[in-house]
């Protein structure tokens, strides 16, 4: 075995954000950059020698090359076996599924999720632990600390391996096993959902749907599940071949970036159901005929109807949502008499609650929904969940949503993003907001009076760890909220996110455009934070 120890010097910017380290491809391609981060992972974890690890990515540019490097480093660092998705492809939820199924020590996911790909796009690396979920903060902090002082890494000198043929071979002392990217995940989905019922609906001739994989990782999964397994006609899955640059698009399933799908569902004679997923397959957008389901509402609908799905037929233990996610699911939890937890943004905060059995379902406003079946959010799982509910209830999406609002009231919701702001300006804006926190309580803005204002802090109920400064909240006495936070996934400048929410119990007022219904809150958000003045931007870059 020819293990080389390579001298290196640290990069000081390898701090994992909301979901791993994300940088421009040009940053990742600097000599030793990827290697430093991977070695920092191995240096921060213990007792992995001889164990199994899982490796895969969303197929974006640099995926294959990075996988070759990581395999050789894993072999040099004493990993026993690496299961790698064929062609280097594993969606984020599939990786989580495979880690759990085979009791792996952990896994490495190569993705920058919904960020654009290609030589000028982004790349990312994320480490997941043995529960299948994103490493908790104490692990990512240790990796970051290590990355700041690293002076060498280990790599096996060996030719590149064949990633495209299923089977096992040796790389040094380590076994590499190239696995089918879809099979384990497909089996898990079949164990949760009523595939017969969904198939009946999809082959009835009365229900049409369109799935947009946005040239990203879910293509092979969606083809296998919907077209091959569940009988939907060929062509149901659009943009179903993963491309290294996602066809030049921005694989983010929202009304702005998933415009192909939006045109179909809001066009003439639209299908009954539409869905899109993101670069690495953990996000989902749900559409009905000329109808958009807000992600926060989607979580509430899944919670309210969970017992219609075989995998959750005995009920759910509890739910959780990230702090900026609307409180729609809170109302469902209250009516079911179960707990509802509020966590900071990012899936890693759901892990302990799921492991401890405190929650069954969880979600984020950013098009992420998931459950205790794995430890990542799961785009196609959410699509199957909706299809299972629709197959049982035999209702159009819009009617289902309206009946839900009728029972629980409607939480009008929107997120305004200001992207690529100069970082200093963004930090200044947040600093000024923090200064105002103590002065806001009791203040009146038109009809609304501030009930509380704080910088969200979370104490994990399972391990007691505390995460501070997770977003500035302004809550009003009528239950409406404004939340401000800076993104932890962007790669250029800073992104300010403003989350807006108000509650409307009256069914005769459930037909408004959210931007209209939230107009006064939008104005208050600008007045308090001086967004336009401080960013120099007249309007948000993206509204979801
Ligand atoms: C964003 C979302 C957050 C999500 C994260 C990772 O983070 O707001 O809810 O968990 O992306 O999703 P931020 O820090 O930019 O707001 V993914 O699909 O990019 O892994
Ligand atoms: Co993603």
Check if 115 has its Cβ closer than 6 Å to any atom of ligand 1: no
Measured distance CA(77)–CA(373) in Å, rounded? 31
Atom of ligand 1 at shortest range from CA of 126: 20
Which ligand is nearest to the Cα of residue 124, counting in written order? 1
Structural contact between residues 42 and 70, judged by C-beta atoms closer than 8 angstroms: no
Structural contact between residues 309 and 388, judged by C-beta atoms closer than 8 angstroms: yes
Which residue's entry shows tokens 């009304």?
Answer: 255
Measured distance CA(342)–CA(69) in Å, rounded? 39
Measured distance CA(524)–CA(142) in Å, rounded? 40
Q: What is the ipTM, given to two decimal places?
A: 0.97
Check if 283 has its Cβ closer than 6 Å to any atom of ligand 1: yes
Residue 51 CA: distances (Å) to CA of 48, 84, 95, 106: 5, 14, 16, 9
* Site to substitute for ligand 1 among 366, 430, 467, 470, most atoms within 8 A of C-beta: 366
Domain positions in the chain are 3-181, 185-408, 410-543
Question: What pLDDT is recorded for position 492?
Answer: 78
Count how many residues are written for the chain: 544
**Model confidence, pTM:** 0.93
* Site to substitute for ligand 1 among 346, 378, 416, 485, most atoms within 8 A of C-beta: 346
* DSSP secondary structure of 440-474: HTT-EETTEEEEEEEE--EE-TTT--EE----EEE
Atom 17 of ligand 1 has which residue's CA nearest to it? Answer: 113
Question: What pLDDT is recorded for position 536?
Answer: 85
Q: Do domains 185-408 and 410-543 have the same CATH topology?
A: no
Question: What pLDDT is recorded for position 430?
Answer: 93
**171 C-alpha to ligand 1 centroid (Å):** 35
Atom of ligand 1 at shortest range from CA of 113: 19
On whether the 185-408 domain is CATH 3.40.120.10, my answer is yes
Check if 239 has its Cβ closer than 6 Å to any atom of ligand 1: no
Instruction: Give me 254's structure tokens.
Output: 């929202």
Check if 95 has its Cβ closer than 6 Å to any atom of ligand 1: no
CA 57 to chain centroid, in Å, comes to 14
Check if 284 has its Cβ closer than 6 Å to any atom of ligand 1: no
Atom of ligand 1 at shortest range from CA of 489: 15
Check if 22 has its Cβ closer than 6 Å to any atom of ligand 1: no
**279 C-alpha to ligand 2 centroid (Å):** 6
Active site residue 91: no
Q: What angle do CA 316, 317, 323 make, to 5 degrees?
A: 100
Question: What pLDDT is recorded for position 137?
Answer: 86
The DSSP letter of residue 304 is H
On whether the 410-543 domain is CATH 3.30.310.50, my answer is yes
Atom 4 of ligand 1 has which residue's CA nearest to it? Answer: 346
First CA to last CA across the chain, in angstroms?
A: 53
The DSSP letter of residue 49 is B
CATH hierarchy code of domain 3-181: 3.40.120.10
**284 C-alpha to ligand 2 centroid (Å):** 9
Atom 6 of ligand 1 has which residue's CA nearest to it? Answer: 19
Check if 379 has its Cβ closer than 6 Å to any atom of ligand 1: no
Atom 10 of ligand 1 has which residue's CA nearest to it? Answer: 346
Closest CA to 183 of 111, 107, 109, 83: 83
Atom of ligand 1 at shortest range from CA of 17: 14
Check if 343 has its Cβ closer than 6 Å to any atom of ligand 1: no
Check if 346 has its Cβ closer than 6 Å to any atom of ligand 1: yes
What are the residue ranges in the chain where pLDDT is below 50? none
**367 C-alpha to ligand 2 centroid (Å):** 9
Q: Which residues contact 376 (CB under 8 A, 6 or more apart)?
A: 92, 93, 95, 96, 128, 132, 133, 134, 282, 347, 370
By the 10 Å C-beta count (0-12 exposed, 13-18 middle, 19+ buried), 224 is classed as buried
Question: What pLDDT is recorded for position 411?
Answer: 97
Atom 19 of ligand 1 has which residue's CA nearest to it? Answer: 113
């Amino acid at each position: 075995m020819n293990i080389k120890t390579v001298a290196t010097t640290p990069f000081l910017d390898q701090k994992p954000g909301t979901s791993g380290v994300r940088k421009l491809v040009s940053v990742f391609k600097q000599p030793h950059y990827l290697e430093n981060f991977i070695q920092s992972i191995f240096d921060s974890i213990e007792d992995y020698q001889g164990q199994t690890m899982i490796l895969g990515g969303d197929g974006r540019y640099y995926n294959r090359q990075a996988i070759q490097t990581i395999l050789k480093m894993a072999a040099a660092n004493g990993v026993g076996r690496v299961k790698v998705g064929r062609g280097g492809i594993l969606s984020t939820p599939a990786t989580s599924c495979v880690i759990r199924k085979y009791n792996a020590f952990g896994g490495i996911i190569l993705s920058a999720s919904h960020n654009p790909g290609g030589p000028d796009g982004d790349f990312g690396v994320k480490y997941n632990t043995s529960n299948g979920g994103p490493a908790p903060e104490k692990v990512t902090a240790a990796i970051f600390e290590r990355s700041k002082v690293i002076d060498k890494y280990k790599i096996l000198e060996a030719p590149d391996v064949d990633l495209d043929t299923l089977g096992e071979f040796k790389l040094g002392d380590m076994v590499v096993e190239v696995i089918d990217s879809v099979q384990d995940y497909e089996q898990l989905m079949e164990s949760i959902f009523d595939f017969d019922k969904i198939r009946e609906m999809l082959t009835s001739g009365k229900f049409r749907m369109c799935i947009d994989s946005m040239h990203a990782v879910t293509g092979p999964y969606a083809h296998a599940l919907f077209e091959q397994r569940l009988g939907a006609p060929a062509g149901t899955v659009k943009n179903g071949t993963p491309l290294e640059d996602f066809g030049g698009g921005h694989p983010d399933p929202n009304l702005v970036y998933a415009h192909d799908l939006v045109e179909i569902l809001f066009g003439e004679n639209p299908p009954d159901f539409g869905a899109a997923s993101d670069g690495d397959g953990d996000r989902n957008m749900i559409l009905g005929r000329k109808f958009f389901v807000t992600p926060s509402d989607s979580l509430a609908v899944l919670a309210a109807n969970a017992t219609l799905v075989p995998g959750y037929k005995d009920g759910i233990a509890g739910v959780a949502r990230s702090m900026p996610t609307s409180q729609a699911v809170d109302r469902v939890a209250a009516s079911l008499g179960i707990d509802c937890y509020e966590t900071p943004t990012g899936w890693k905060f759901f892990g302990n609650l799921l492991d401890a059995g405190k929650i069954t379902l969880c979600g984020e406003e950013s098009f992420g929904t998931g459950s205790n079946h794995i430890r990542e959010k799961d785009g196609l799982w959410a699509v199957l969940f909706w299809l299972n509910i629709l197959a049982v209830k035999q209702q159009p999406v819009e009617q289902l949503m309206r009946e839900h609002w009728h029972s629980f009231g409607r939480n009008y919701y929107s997120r305004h993003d200001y992207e690529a702001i100069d970082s200093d300006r963004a930090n200044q804006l947040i600093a000024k907001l923090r200064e105002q926190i103590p002065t806001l309580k009791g203040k009146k803005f038109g009809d609304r009076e501030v009930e509380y204002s704080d910088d969200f802090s979370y104490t994990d109920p399972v391990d007691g760890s505390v995460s501070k400064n997770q977003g500035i909240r302004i809550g009003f006495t009528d239950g409406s909220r404004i939340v401000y936070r800076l993104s932890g996934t962007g790669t250029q400048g800073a992104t300010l996110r403003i989350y807006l929410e108000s509650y409307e119990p009256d069914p005769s007022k459930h037909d408004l455009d959210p931007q209209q219904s939230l107009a006064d809150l939008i104005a208050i958000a600008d007045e308090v934070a001086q967004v336009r003045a401080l960013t120099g931007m007249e309007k948000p870059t993206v509204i979801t």
